[in-house]
Amino acid sequence: ADSLHSFTDGIAIGVSFAGGNGIGIATALSVLAHELPHEIGDFAILVQSGCSANQAIKLQFCTAIFAFAGTAVGLLSADLSSGFSDLLLALVSGGFVYLATMTVLPDLLNANSSLVQMTTEVAAFSAGVLMMVFVAQLESHDHDH
């Protein structure tokens, strides 16, 4: 599952760079911001499960290779057809929104959540949406020149 996740992250980065440097950099930074704590957590789980630090690093490296493969697929898809790369970008973006929504909504709908927690989660989710709008505006401005 982690390899597939890394592969789709790579596709997102590759297709984004094929669409323009602005959106490519924004996507790469977004994936990095998400993946860094995720990979540190995976490393800790592997070590806690009995792997040595060296084994855990090797296992993490094996899954990270799939991100490079996904990036290559994303970049190559842009060379084949802009329509296909647009489709890939839409699918991966939709997948990110789906995953983000599905991890936030259950907590928001939890009747035991405090008002402060719900407000914080809605604010964080809204900030994410605003960042996407900001990146879209930057990308639109990038295409105008």
Cβ–Cβ under 8 Å, residues 89 and 16:
yes
Which pTM was predicted? 0.66
Return the structure tokens found at 64: 């990270």
Return the structure tokens found at 3: 């390899």
Q: How far apart are CA 124 and CA 42, in angstroms?
A: 24
Q: What pLDDT is attached to residue 143?
A: 55
Q: What pLDDT is attached to residue 94?
A: 81
Strands (E), the chain: none
Cβ–Cβ under 8 Å, residues 85 and 75:
no
10-residue stretch averages of pLDDT, the chain, 145 residues long:
84 86 86 86 92 92 92 84 76 78 73 79 84 75 55
Q: What pLDDT is attached to residue 21?
A: 85
CA-angle at 26, arms to 127 and 79, nearest 5°: 140
Q: How far apart are CA 48 and CA 140, in angstroms?
A: 46
Name the residue with tokens 């990146």. 135
For the chain, give every domain's residue range.
2-144
Q: What pLDDT is attached to residue 132?
A: 76
Q: What pLDDT is attached to residue 70?
A: 92
Class of residue 102 by CB neighbours under 10 A (exposed 0-12, middle 13-18, buried 19+)? exposed
